Chains A and B, each alone.
Chain A
Amino acid sequence: MFATAIAAVIAAMVLALVRAFAGPSLYDRVLAGNSFGTKTVLLIGLMGFITGRPDFLDIALLYALINFTATLAILRFFSYRTPKGAPAEPASEKESPA
């Protein structure tokens, strides 16, 4: 059962990777990175259970915290960013004004 769950999580990781490769907008990539981190948390938890060491779950929880903080830090950049002096960007990467 855990092996099937691991296979499903890896398939979901591949899908998130496809979105991170393809983009096209900034937020697609932020979301892909964030959901990839969530999949990593799930994968580490499952690896702990399949090897009979459920204390890996604590590590997975810490990863969830790191992932959350990193996403917040990345998003803060865009709330402080201004187009002043920045090179022109393609329309697909324009952000909504904060």
Chain B
Amino acid sequence: MNTFHVELSPSIWLDLSLLTMLVLVAIAMLRSRHLFAVVMLSGIYSLLSAAFFVSLDAVDVAFTEAAVGAGVSTVLMLGGMLLTARREKPKGAGRAPVALAVVFAAGAALVYATIDMPAFGDPNAPANSHVGQAYVEQTPNDIAVPNIVTAVLASYRGFDTLGEVMVIFTAGVAVMLLLGAGSVRGGREVSDVEKDESGAA
């Protein structure tokens, strides 16, 4: 099996700056005790990762991330936040050293495992040599969809995608039930003062 070398992509600086901003946003979310700021930062995090997915050519994943992450889940988290306090309860400076050690060990193991992965875009990699090749060859004849990923998601695995839609729908219904009927407008506790006084709602 001949080896396959990848050169650095010209968009390496773009990817690096996007990933750096992702890390910065994640740290800021961890450190902030102001819940509204955390919700807004999580929306920014989703937008950043969507941009990163686009730069990785995963356009459909990026769509999902932008719609669900930046749109729906921001609104759902705001609805949840309005039912609780505005600020996280301040905790002491004590950290959990065991948890930190476990996280670092797991991260180091994952990074170590990436050494064994085939190079990005390697034609001999298992992902590119068997099933993937069949999809690439047969999609133009089977389904006249120019994007192969879309063809796999919407046609070859159509029932699978339908099941996923059911799961997401059920989760959405469950969240709406937990937050209460008025959650779209900010939860049960929240109503417009002037409208309440005029006797409506």
B44 interface neighbour in A36, A74, A87, Cβ under 8 Å: A36
Question: With A and B bound together, what is the CA distance between A98 and B185 in angstroms?
Answer: 14
Quick check: B63 and A47 within 8 Å, CB to CB?
no
Asked whether, in the complex, the Cβ of B63 is within 8 Å of the Cβ of A40, the reply is no
Assess the A21–B28 pair: CB atoms within 8 A.
yes
Q: Is the CB of B47 within 8 A of A82?
A: no
Chain B residues 61-99 with CB under 8 Å of chain A are 62-63, 66-67, 70-71, 74-75, 78-79, 82, 85-87
Contacts of B179 in A (CB 8 A): none
A8 within 8 Å of B (CB atoms): no
Q: Which 4 A-B pairs have the closest CB atoms?
A: A29-B40, A70-B71, A80-B186, A40-B47
Taking beta carbons and an 8 Å cutoff, which residues of B are in contact with A? 11, 14, 17, 21, 24-25, 28, 34, 36-37, 40-41, 43-44, 47-48, 50-51, 54-55, 59, 62-63, 66-67, 70-71, 74-75, 78-79, 82, 85-87, 185-186, 189-193
12 contacts between A and B (CB under 8 A): A21-B41, A40-B47, A47-B51, A56-B54, A66-B67, A70-B43, A70-B70, A76-B186, A80-B185, A81-B186, A86-B189, A87-B85
